[in-house]
A and B are shown apart, each in its own frame.
Chain A
Amino acid sequence: MKYTVKIIAVCISCLWVLCACKGASEQPVVQSISLHTELGGNADGFTRACGGREFRFPQDHGPHPEFRNEWWYVTGNLKDKKSQAFGFHATFFRIANRPYNTDQPNSWAASQFYMAHFAITRHGGDQVRAHERFARAAAGLAGAQAEPFRVWLDDWSINATQQSRADKPEWLLKLGDGSDHLELVLTAQKPITLQGDQGYSQKSSDPCNASYYYSVSRMTASGSLSIDGQDHRVDGTAWLDREWSSSALADDQQGWDWFALQLDDGRDIMYYQLRNNNGDRDPQSYAAEIDRTGGRKILSLDDIDLEVTRWWQSDSGSRYPVAGQLRRTDTGEVIHYEPLIDNQELPLTVRYWEGAIMLSNADGESIGTGYLELTGY
């Protein structure tokens, strides 16, 4: 999944600032930067994910600064009292600029920085409302800690509540920018799911091109949301992804489509397909089903068939497959998906489509909600 993120993180470290000072430098330093030099090589000095490890909570909710990239990734679907539907996306990325060093000359010295994205979508709205922030992991401006759990960037934060338990986190999410605000209590409804092989998620043939990856695939979300200055009391479900790594991408990967589906019958399905340059699905793609009690079953890629039914073109020119159907050949189950609204392309430092989707069965009946991430388009 959240390769996206990875890429984003990477891209950020690449593209980053560029646009900022156009007059500043005639030769953009970007020229030589590629995803692969960022994600593939140059992991010197960082710890790499080369095999299984033992996950421990609450420690692993906190940061792993010896790895290059890490994120706390929450998406979800909400409804207010009048059944107005909303989607939200809140992510904190930790990105290392240099290998971690605890011996710093002063409190501002930083070898890492944080980027955070906050986006909300209203059903019927024109477009997603997205916000982005950066801050160094120093001087108390941004950071993360395991106990009590906290990740923050400026006044955007996720904090553990008093009721939070290591294996059943309850977190308070607080984000806001301008006339958009979101304050939610997220309570885990299922235990922590270790993705891949006991949390070790290999991304290419090199066993060290991998990440550590766990999810809480269903959390209740309850709180308040302000969108464009309008306040709503909201309830719904959220999905938490946690991943950290130092290098993961293969040379021939172009992008991916990631699905986080929460079905009304209590099952959650995660599916990501990595797309190679020739448009094929990469064998390192992944699908899993989590039952109502949290039991995980890895699905065979051969049993998943994705068919796009509608493309949407953004003003920036990218075309995204925003609607389609997932067919499971093993059970015959068909899940149709449609975006909450089409324009959920995030116009941030790195553009990608990350949006709430509505799920329905072959008869057109609503069967759940989810989040879809589309990159490399």
Chain B
Amino acid sequence: MVTVPVSGNTLMSSALPVFVKSSLRYWQKHRWQVLLMLIGMALGVAVVFAVEIANASAKRAFALSLDAVTGRTTHQIVGGSAGVDEQLYTHLRTEAGFRRSAPIVEGEIAIGSESFQLLGVDLFAEPMFRDDSTGSNSVAGRGRASLQLLDSGSALLARTTVQRLGLKIGDHFSVSVAGRDATLHLIDVIGGSRQAAFESLIMVDVSTAQQLLDRNGRLSRIDLVIEDPSELDSIRGLFPSHEIIESQTRNASLKQMTQAFHTNLLAMSLLALLVGAFLIYNTVTLSVLQRRQMFGALRVAGVTRRELFTAILLEATVFAVVGTLLGLLLGLILGNSLLVLVTRTINDLYFTLDVRRIDVSLVSVAKALALGLGAAVIAAVAPALEAAGSAPATVLQRSSIEKQARGMVPLLALVGTALILCGALIVWISSSSLWAGFAALLFIVVGYSLLIPKALMFAAGLVSGSSGWLRRFVGPMGHYPVRSLTASLSRTSVAIAALVVAVSATAGVGIMINSFRYSVIDWLGQTLTSDIYIRAAESQREAIPDALKQDIAALDGVTGLRVARGTEIEASGSPVRLLALQFSGNGNNGFSFRKTNGQGHWQRFRSGDGIFVSEPFAWKTGLTTGDRVRLSTDRGIVDFTIEGVVTDYSAGQGLIIINYASYQRYWTDNAITSIGLQLQPDVDIERFKPGLRDVLARYPMEFSLRSNREIREVSLDIFDRTFAITHVLRLLTVGVAFVGILSALLALALERRQEFAVLRSIGLTPSELRNLLFVQSGLMGLVAGLLSLPLGLVMSKLLVSIINVRSFGWTMDFQVPAGVLLQTLLLAVAAALIAGIYPSAMLSRLPPAQALRNQ
């Protein structure tokens, strides 16, 4: 061996063209490999990018509409559930002369099945609030026509909304508010650059909003622009019994509400990318192995280790760029579908949000690019190191590489174990950080996949030790599939690891959803203590008359009534559901307590200022039993004591339960939103309903009737809808793993063409060979499936006990159904078998003579 002392740069410049040329020739010969790698990579990036842009679009749309509604508002005066008396606003402007104030009446409204936010404003007060293009000397609005907004029923919509709904200016359109129908008159559109912010809004005059929402005399809130802290003090003096909140704080906490949900989606998408990275690792490793002779030659030519390393990494980067770009394109398409699911979940869990357009920001693209390229390059580092380690001119035998790989197994196992311990440590140390939870999850997943070669060898030892049944099934070559799996451990183990990660993620998420669903069903059973529920529109202020209650109680079969008033209030600057419940006194009160404030919590709840809060509320506020919650009531600000933390899956934003009598005392509100009817056990609900409807028809209000069973069904429908996006992400991850397995099998198959040719020439028929390969694929799947189970269980436990709690504050019972475990196994085997179809068919068709000749 001759060593020429020449500087690396000149050598590289002369060696690089050679490398590029041979590299091109190699990849041209292995197009399928490139293709699969690119597909796998693109899929991984696509999932991340799609989730990222769907998340970003939803967040941006929400922020936009929030900002549109908030405008320049710095503070807001909010009242109890009934809002603010409008006379306070008049007082503020006339007597107190505080002019930087605007009245807002808002609520939910629907056009057809589409939800919108109704925003009632005073266009005379608007300019200093929601209009950024004018000074304070003119009035907000849209030309002469804006005065038309003062006319009852006039409305403004965003131009895009108008186009989508096929409306035009001057049209009348139907809306429904809390079950009541009304007609609005479209007087103009909101166009220009700010229309996106108004897409989920219907803007009307305060007067129209009050009429639509049946809230005459009340405002939802008063917006303020306060520049000087002393002004704030004087306004506080004017409104001693009202809460004045900072709008930035409120907006931040509103935006925060969905943050955990977005984080969860992003974390799931990163799993898909991780699986994609395994695939890249596998492909690059294979290419390095196959080119080992060439690398040896290059080393002889004087190419240094560092140069070889750089060249391979560059090569991987080129693929990564192409794959990532493909992924971005694919992600863009996928993102549109995901957006629908994301928006639906937000609507089900949190608030009305209408996002129609995917919004791709440079930041999103940069994130996906960085993640895609980063993952690919990191995945290529190990094989590049391996190539750089090639001794000059030494033609490394495949067997020696495998020997080397096998030598690595104990080290990998050690590192893997360390990572898992690290993950466990993180869970143990961190108490509430969601990101720490995900970090632990990642450590455990990666650590576990490093253990896979070890586990594989162990399993192979077991199987080949007793491969009698295999021989019976496949014939005399029975132990061939197993042996050849471990013989090419360097690649099979990575393919299996990819499948394990994907399939165990499916199992983990499956078990989590199952546990969740089970807990919800359990909770519904406990909470729905009545047989039929009558609901009145929430915005209805007039009380359900006592006569109605008596009429219902007088119906045959009714054993008890339970009235409730649900409404939304502000607590610590963010919206919370308030449920006022009346208790008839009998045993089952429908709560399952996670925690109570010692003895007598019921007593204090009923008679004093005790409240119960839901788990998410307790988690978000960091409050627990015995702590006080400050609420702004119609009688001023009152401190309530938390007497119990109860299970509740209904309100993502948090729920406060108060005794109806206490509610009436503090909120001067006699309204009822629902009446629960308890019936004698032998009453047929469907037969009971018509009579009940007759009674209700005598009253002028709108009611809806739902039986206990219907509510359960609807609730579970919503639950399933909420998790639809999770299912989609699971499937996508498995899709990436499938490509990985296919790629690995193809590589194995092609690499061993001569081997198979020999087998053919010693008498194996094509179909025997095909079966052989097929069995091998199946085995890989089976092993992956079995290895997925422990990881899946650990993941699900982490999801249920750590991630879910830290994201939403929901605790749930851990339920592992055998079905999910079986599904996991089947999924792994099926994926591997399907992936094995093409390689085995292809190989078995290969004429042995040709394959041998190639040697």
B76 at the A interface (CB under 8 A) = no
Give complex CA distance A249, B207 in Å: 33
Interfacial residues of chain B within 98-152, with CB under 8 A of chain A in the complex: 99, 122-127, 131, 133-134, 137-147, 150-152
What's the minimum C-beta distance from A27 to chain B, rounded to whole angstroms? 8
B709 at the A interface (CB under 8 A) = no
What's the minimum C-beta distance from B573 to chain A, rounded to whole angstroms? 27
9 closest cross-chain pairs (CB), A and B: A23-B192, A29-B143, A155-B97, A17-B141, A108-B207, A140-B90, A109-B207, A20-B140, A25-B142
Q: Tally chain A residues at the interface, Cβ within 8 Å.
A: 44
Most A Cβ at <10 Å: residue of B124, B145, B189, B192: B124
B191 at the A interface (CB under 8 A) = yes
Interfacial residues of chain B within 186-212, with CB under 8 A of chain A in the complex: 188-195, 205-207, 210-211
A113 CB contacts on chain B under 8 angstroms: 124, 147, 150
Q: Are A109 and B152 in contact (CB under 8 A)?
A: yes
Q: Are B147 and A16 in contact (CB under 8 A)?
A: yes
B137 CB contacts on chain A under 8 angstroms: 132, 347-349
A362 CB contacts on chain B under 8 angstroms: none
A13 CB contacts on chain B under 8 angstroms: 144, 147
Partner of A108, one of B86, B93, B151: B86
What's the minimum C-beta distance from A172 to chain B, rounded to whole angstroms? 15
Partner of B152, one of A105, A136, A155: A105
Q: Are B191 and A135 in contact (CB under 8 A)?
A: no
B263 at the A interface (CB under 8 A) = no
Q: Tally chain B residues at the interface, Cβ within 8 Å.
A: 48
B475 at the A interface (CB under 8 A) = no
A107 CB contacts on chain B under 8 angstroms: 86, 207, 216-217
B682 at the A interface (CB under 8 A) = no
What's the minimum C-beta distance from A86 to chain B, rounded to whole angstroms? 22
What's the minimum C-beta distance from A130 to chain B, rounded to whole angstroms? 9
What's the minimum C-beta distance from B13 to chain A, rounded to whole angstroms? 57
Interfacial residues of chain A within 99-145, with CB under 8 A of chain B in the complex: 105-111, 113, 132-136, 138-141
A111 CB contacts on chain B under 8 angstroms: 150
B95 at the A interface (CB under 8 A) = yes
Give complex CA distance A254, B157 in Å: 38
Interfacial residues of chain A within 8-37, with CB under 8 A of chain B in the complex: 13-14, 16-26, 28-30, 33
B94 at the A interface (CB under 8 A) = yes
A154 at the B interface (CB under 8 A) = yes
Give complex CA distance A4, B696 in Å: 61
Give complex CA distance A82, B192 in Å: 54
Most B Cβ at <10 Å: residue of A24, A26, A138: A24
Give complex CA distance A98, B150 in Å: 10
What's the minimum C-beta distance from A84 to chain B, rounded to whole angstroms? 27
Q: Are A108 and B134 in contact (CB under 8 A)?
A: no
Give complex CA distance A256, B679 in Å: 82
Q: Are B141 and A139 in contact (CB under 8 A)?
A: no
Closest chain B residue to A153, Cβ basis: B94
A223 at the B interface (CB under 8 A) = no
B555 at the A interface (CB under 8 A) = no
What's the minimum C-beta distance from A131 to chain B, rounded to whole angstroms? 8
Q: Are B144 and A139 in contact (CB under 8 A)?
A: no
Q: Are B150 and A136 in contact (CB under 8 A)?
A: yes
A-B contact pairs, 15 of them (CB 8 A): A17-B147, A18-B138, A23-B193, A24-B142, A25-B189, A25-B192, A105-B207, A106-B216, A108-B205, A134-B139, A136-B124, A138-B207, A154-B99, A155-B96, A347-B137
What's the minimum C-beta distance from B717 to chain A, rounded to whole angstroms? 38
Knowing A24-B194, A347-B137, say if A17 contacts B97 (CB, 8 Å): no
Give complex CA distance A292, B13 in Å: 108
B22 at the A interface (CB under 8 A) = no
Give complex CA distance A132, B193 in Å: 28
B621 at the A interface (CB under 8 A) = no
